[in-house]
Amino acid sequence: MKKVITYGTYDLLHVGHINLLRRAKELGDYLLVVLSSDEFNELKGKKAYYSYEDRKQILEAIKYVDEVIPEYTWEQKISDVQDNNIDVFVMGHDWEGKFDFLKDYCEVVYLPRTEGISTTKIKGDLMAKNKEQ
């Protein structure tokens, strides 16, 4: 079985997330999503709309996702790959080069992002619409 891993916050789920998860799953037989915990988001200076538990439940309902586990630190990636017998690590191309250190443990793939959509864009568009009203 070929196992694939990817990471993210997956807040305000959109078609870009689905495209990334679908393409990641196409690279193997089993997709493990490591989801940023609320505590880790706080350390990163991010605030998700949905709690970790809600985001986890949403991800688990997506047919491409086989398992969801929490991310607590930047440093846990090597142990996640080793502990879960991962063959392929996948991230969006905006992270290109940042995780090349994992090439000692598995294949590293940077997938293109879906053009014109992101959680940041959605939040900005909503704020702009609210100001118009």
Q: Known catalytic residues? A: 44, 46
DSSP 63: T
C-alpha pair distances (Å), 99 with each of 10, 45, 63, 90, 109: 19, 21, 26, 9, 9
Q: How far apart are CA 91 and CA 65, in angstroms?
A: 15
Residue 68 makes CB contacts below 8 A (sequence gap 6+) with 32, 33, 34, 35, 56, 59, 60
CA distance 27 to 90: 9
The CB density around residue 36, as the number of other CB atoms within 10 Å, is 22
